[in-house]
Amino acid sequence: MKQILISSDGETVRIAVTQSGRLVEYRMEEGSDGLSGSIYLGRVTDVLPGIRAAFVDIGLPKNGYLALDDVPRSSGKRAEEKRSPSHTGRIHEGEALLVQIEKEETGTKGGRLTAEISLPGRKLVYLPFGRQVMVSRKMVGEAERSRLRELMAGHLHDGEGVIVRTMAAGSDDDDLIRELEYLRGLWQEAAARAKGAKPPRRLFDGGGLAARVLHDWLNHEVGEVLLDHSATYQQVKRVMEKLYPELVDRLSFYQGKASLFEREGVEAEIDRALQRQVPLPHGGFLVIDRTEAMTVIDVNTGTFTGQGGRQVEETILQTNLEAAAEIAHQLRLRDIGGIIIIDFIDMTRPADQERVLERLQAELAKDRTPTRVAGMTRLGLVEMTRKRERKSIGELLTTPCPVCRESGRTLAPAEVARRFLREVRGLVMHQDAQAIVGLLPPQVMACLDWAEQEKALSVHLLLKEEGRLAPHAYRIIYAGSLQEARQRFAGLGGIDT
């Protein structure tokens, strides 16, 4: 069974997609700035004709990259203005421009932007400036394609466009019109925010991470959508009632004592997804290393030596077939994008090489993110790419390690703070703790808003900065009564404020 698990503390939203109890995808949103699909009123800061590109300030730390070819002839400088049809895509510095994040910023690179605005739904993609109806090429049956094309054309306003997804085949007219009106309403709200606004300003957050995951994943194969936060639950329920009414009965609100992710084993799987080494079923293992230019994956037999006198070639083939399946899984789970080089164990038989490549491509076909396998080089290395759409799980949860001069990575201070607060929440729920005494590294202490967290968790936090702790570590010294906690805290040299 496939599950969508959505956990939130009011600030951070974490989403896990599991299949048969195994984590297959993980997303996290802390705030809504800079996320794929968000629409901004930006200001052009630089135009570089030599590379046909511009940089746009949308209010984030790094300016976004906009290819001039992605500026349509008819777009929106502002929501209340239409670009002249004679405009050839050239823009000038200082111009206010409507843009959408196509790819989130990663590492040292700012996000990739487009001026081709689109709002995806379940069966339709709404294009405010699209001016045409496009039907998915995967949809079979010319009669159905013509019906959908005529239906949509009859309900579009001047200048609008729409893409009809494959899932729309066989849908009732009323369902499609309802979805079109819902998506148009989202755009109209964004356009209204732009009126009189000064750039940079965010106009639309993409509907929130939960809504985007529903668009990507929710179908009849999903047996349960489980949430643990009331406001997020209501938001998801509204989206499902609009776009997925037949699946609303699969939505549930979790109220157990253990955290949702702990109960489902997700926390442990997230920790394993940050490890460099990944075990294979019969004793082999992968080693995954990320560099600035690419990701390199090495396959090793480990303790797997075969059974019953199996030839060496068969042992190598079996390990490589297991590795191919696990590599596809890890790429999805870790959300690794860009250039990927895989060093399978050397195979002397061409037929074995073909089997491994076929297995890899079959497993990659399950991935919604576009991938391309270029083939195997003369050195036996497999070259492939996976579209980079957002930060990987390693970039989300870790930061360059200051101890080893950034040659390795450790948990980011904000992630350590989140883990500390999740443990505190569990102690409050399970042990009725009135107060917590803890030691935290300076970077983690700087991430915490004590007063806000004490109010949210209904607990007294007595925390002391400890510079000798590793950047990824913290210690909870005591959880219990306030009187005893104050005594323990005083013994640490702390002052209760």
Distance in angstroms (rounded) separating the CA atoms of residues 81 and 197: 13
Amino acid 363: pLDDT: 97
The residues that bridge with 297 in the sheet, in sequence order, are 288, 342
Residue 258 forms part of a structural domain: yes
Domain of residue 217 covers 2-33+208-267
How many whole angstroms separate alpha carbon 16 and alpha carbon 263? 13
Q: Give the residue-averaged pLDDT of 48-57.
A: 90
At 76-118, the pLDDT tens digits run 444 444 443 333 356 889 999 999 998 888 767 788 999 999 9
Of 58-72, 81-95, 227-241, 418-432, give the lowest mean pLDDT range: 81-95
- Tell me, what's the pLDDT at 305? 62
303 and 243, same domain (yes or no) = no
| Cα–Cα distance for residue pair 78/317, rounded to 1 Å | 58
Q: What does DSSP say about strands 222-227 and 2-8: parallel, antiparallel, or unpaired?
A: parallel
Q: Which two tokens stand for residue 169?
A: 């085949």
Same domain, 171 and 261: no
Tell me, what CATH number does 13's domain have? Answer: 3.30.420.60
- Please work out, in degrees rounded to the nearest 5, the angle formed at the alpha carbon of residue 205 by the alpha carbons of 411 and 7: 45
pLDDT value for 252: 95
| 328 and 475 in a common domain | no
In this structure, is residue 311 part of a structural domain? yes
Tell me, yes or no, whether 45 lies in a domain: yes
Task: Tell me whether residue 55 is in a domain.
Answer: yes
In this structure, is residue 407 part of a structural domain?
no
pLDDT the model gives residue 405: 64
pLDDT confidence bin for 389, thresholds 50/70/90: confident
Q: 450-457 and 413-431 helices cross at what angle (nearest 10)? A: 30
Same domain flag for 169 and 53: yes
Same domain membership, residue 464 and residue 486: yes
Q: State the sign of the Cα–Cα–Cα–Cα dihedral 384, 389, 393, 396.
A: positive
Instruction: Indicate the residue among 369, 397, 425 that finishes a domain.
Output: 397
Whether 195 and 212 share a structural domain? no
Which residues in 255-272 are b (16+ Cβ under 10 Å) and which e?
eeeebbbeebebbebbee
Rounded CA-CA distance 178/185 in Å is: 11
- Say how many domains are in the chain: 4
| CATH classification of the domain holding 486 | 3.40.1260.20
Query: CA-to-CA distance for 37 and 39, rounded, in angstroms?
Result: 6
Are both 291 and 388 inside the same structural domain? yes
For tokens 């405010």, name the residue: 128
User: For 209-236, how does the pLDDT look when each residue is reduced to its tens digit (9 = 90+)?
Assistant: 787 788 888 888 899 999 999 988 998 9
Q: Tens digit of pLDDT for each residue in 304-318?
A: 665 544 578 888 999
Residue 486 is assigned to a structural domain of this protein: yes
How many residues would you count in the chain? Answer: 497
Looking at the structure, do residues 429 and 280 belong to the same domain, yes or no? no
Mean pLDDT of 398-421: 84
Q: What is the pLDDT of residues 457-472, one digit of tens each?
A: 899 999 999 999 988 8
Q: Are residues 239 and 386 in the same domain?
A: no
Residue 386 lies in a domain: yes
pLDDT value of position 307: 56
Q: What is the pLDDT of residue 40?
A: 94
What is the band of 391 on the pLDDT scale with cuts at 50, 70, 90? confident
Residue pair 183/157 in contact (Cβ under 8 Å)? The answer is no
Q: Do 281 and 340 share a domain, yes or no?
A: yes
Same domain? 456 vs 380: no
Residue 217 and residue 193 in one domain? no
User: What confidence category does residue 408 fall into, taking pLDDT thresholds of 50, 70 and 90?
Assistant: confident
